A and B are shown apart, each in its own frame.
Chain A
Amino acid sequence: MGRIVLDQVSKCFGDVEVIPPLDLTIEDGEFAVFVGPSGCGKSTLLRMIAGLEDLTSGAIAIDGEDVTEVPPSKRGLAMVFQSYALYPHMTVRKNIGFPLRMEKMGQAEIDKRVETASQSLNLTDYLDRKPGQLSGGQRQRVAIGRAIVRDPSAFLFDEPLSNLDAALRVGMRLEISEMHARMKTTMIYVTHDQVEAMTMADKIVVLQAGVIEQVGSPLDLYHKPQNVFVAGFIGSPKMNLFSGPEAAKHGAHTIGIRPEHTDVNTTDGMWEGRVGVAEHLGSDTFIHIHDTGLADMLTVRITGDIAVKHGDKIFLTPQADQIHKFDAQGLRIE
């Protein structure tokens, strides 16, 4: 069980309000991802749920019980830190067993649970090593192991993959997703990487300057961004956003079109421009286009390859039903 409800939760550091009062509900078994640019308050929010940061106002309830004044370890949550935060003076076995030892659990039970956890994380060979002798990925597993053994009602992840190299990150991402599918425990995951958010989440919470910009499933956010910020933040490469007469034609202040929703032609189309850099990935090609008169640069993504080179003239046609329209306040117009 792990239904987490935030009720008018806010946080001030001194006179600076980093999180204005906000409401949020994370359902039992859900994989929720807090995503946003650095400094948006996502980590602070997570730490408030964990109990590592106190609330300026509001209340947090876990499974209907108010935990606002409950110390971190009594909330039934487990946390995985960005730096892994392993105890460097303890072996892997001691690290994983530490929370259980603090609960005054019997040694036999501790051993059993550490054994089970380390088997599921492929750590059995490393149990008697110290964290300093492990690779980044192995340390990450130990940190997860230390969270798992407690059998928490929810897992909290604070940018757990940002210290790993790219290849390892993809692997760990899958493992955490699989772990969630298997355990069906509530997970809250903080990241600045929208790819992680899109691939792992059941529910994404997009934050900016402490304010929730949008809550929804990954595809909700992709197809129906509620405002310009979410439109620009979710999706890679970024959505092309521009204002001006071309937007006015569509009855909007700002319009947006995703790179993958633009057709490209070398002979004719709606907009004309000049090819800047073309990035050939093999499966896709990203073309950066200048001199369209719409924005400094537009990006388009085409499947496969196309024979264009720097300075070529090029024509673009947006897919009409994929144009996102926003009003002067930056809010979506349906």
Chain B
Amino acid sequence: MPDRKLPRLLQAPAVLLLLVWMLVPLGMTLYFSFIRYVLNNLRHPEWTTPSPSNWRGFGNYQFVLNSKDFLLAIQNSLFIVCSILFLTVTLGILIAVLINKAFPGQGIVRVLLISPFFVMPAVNAVLWINMILDPVLGLQGIAVSGINDVVDGLRQAPVLGSFFSLWPEFEPISFRATQTSAIAVIMMVTWQWTPFAVLIFMTSLQSEDQQQKEAAVLDGAGTWSQFRFLTLPHLGRPIAIVVMIQAIFHLSLYAEIEIVSRGNGNKNLPYLIGEFANNNIGAASATGIFAVILANIVAIFLLRAVGKTLME
């Protein structure tokens, strides 16, 4: 007789833990978002302890909505996540198709390719922003000044010199301060997650029906038609999964932004919350609730769409 109680009992710890994990902090965030609550205030010391008597209603929400950073942060969040998704999926498919067929050293290339996925995000950010993208000391800076030196040298050359003297001095790009820092974040996260997409698409490609392809060849389909009408549809499900899993991880992207720019110019929502939380917990909580709403909108779409295929 299948016992109905035991399965529930076995699930209980996991369900309860997650329930508490979700509800308690979220409930507190909700509560904080409706009161005046700051860490330091000399004139109103009573605001530094959370209490219902400091009720502010929707005041925190208004404050957040009116702050110029808020819309920018939402824009940035979506811009960063969407760019990463687009790049990883596109690059993922291209690279997967490229290395799917056997060639000498396929195994080694696979290992090389997958490595970035296991690098901790903190190291990823430190590595890129300093050693690679730094406008003076990083590879970028070195490369740009190297090119400039070469161009400079050529200016002295006879005949060609007049041509090269028309060339501008190349400027290295700073990825720390301006909107370009979002580009840096997109670059480093794409570097880290493209391997993940490649790995999944490759696995999926290996299960592609070869007889179907042979049938298509007999039907006169060229390489492009095969890719467009057989391979791409076959990858539909893995693409959906790659998008969902990445969305889960990237909506709460934080370490990279913190390290790259300390939020200069490209705050995303998590970063904005962190910034508010330096003092104004009420506003941080209200922003948090907005972030939860945003995540839920994304989650509803994604989980609905992908959930079905996963559950089969």
Number of B interface residues at 8 Å Cβ cutoff, please give it: 2
Asked if A71 is at the interface of the complex by the 8 Å CB criterion, the answer is yes
**What is the CA–CA distance of A54 and B2 in the complex, to the nearest angstrom?**
7
**Chain A at the B interface: SS class:** loop
Asked if B1 is at the interface of the complex by the 8 Å CB criterion, the answer is yes
Nearest CB on B from A270, distance (A): 51
**Chain B at the A interface: SS class:** loop
Point out the residues of chain B lying under 8 angstroms from A54, CB to CB.
1-2
Number of A interface residues at 8 Å Cβ cutoff, please give it: 8
Nearest CB on B from A71, distance (A): 6
**What is the CA–CA distance of A54 and B1 in the complex, to the nearest angstrom?**
6
Nearest CB on B from A12, distance (A): 15
Q: Kindly identify, within residues 31 to 78 of chain A, every residue whose CB is under 8 Å from any CB belonging to chain B.
A: 51-54, 69-72
The residue in A54, A69, A70 that gathers the most chain B C-beta atoms within 10 A of its C-beta is A54
List the count of A-B residue pairs having beta carbons below 8 Å apart: 9
Of all chain B residues, the one with the shortest Cβ separation from A75 is B1
**What is the CA–CA distance of A69 and B1 in the complex, to the nearest angstrom?**
7
Task: Report 5 cross-chain contacts, Cβ distance below 8 Å, ordered by A residue.
Answer: A52-B2, A54-B2, A69-B1, A70-B1, A71-B1
Nearest CB on A from B301, distance (A): 29
Q: Kindly identify, within residues 2 to 16 of chain B, every residue whose CB is under 8 Å from any CB belonging to chain A.
A: 2
Point out the residues of chain B lying under 8 angstroms from A51, CB to CB.
1
Nearest CB on A from B142, distance (A): 57
Nearest CB on A from B232, distance (A): 36
Point out the residues of chain B lying under 8 angstroms from A69, CB to CB.
1
Q: Kindly identify, within residues 47 to 70 of chain B, every residue whose CB is under 8 Å from any CB belonging to chain A.
A: none
**What is the CA–CA distance of A52 and B3 in the complex, to the nearest angstrom?**
10
Of all chain A residues, the one with the shortest Cβ separation from B4 is A54
**What is the CA–CA distance of A53 and B1 in the complex, to the nearest angstrom?**
6
Q: Kindly identify, within residues 66 to 93 of chain A, every residue whose CB is under 8 Å from any CB belonging to chain B.
A: 69-72
Point out the residues of chain A lying under 8 angstroms from B2, CB to CB.
52-54
Of all chain B residues, the one with the shortest Cβ separation from A69 is B1
**What is the CA–CA distance of A102 and B170 in the complex, to the nearest angstrom?**
78
Given contacts A54-B1, A70-B1, A72-B1, 4 further A-B contacts (CB under 8 A): A51-B1, A53-B2, A54-B2, A69-B1
**What is the CA–CA distance of A54 and B4 in the complex, to the nearest angstrom?**
11
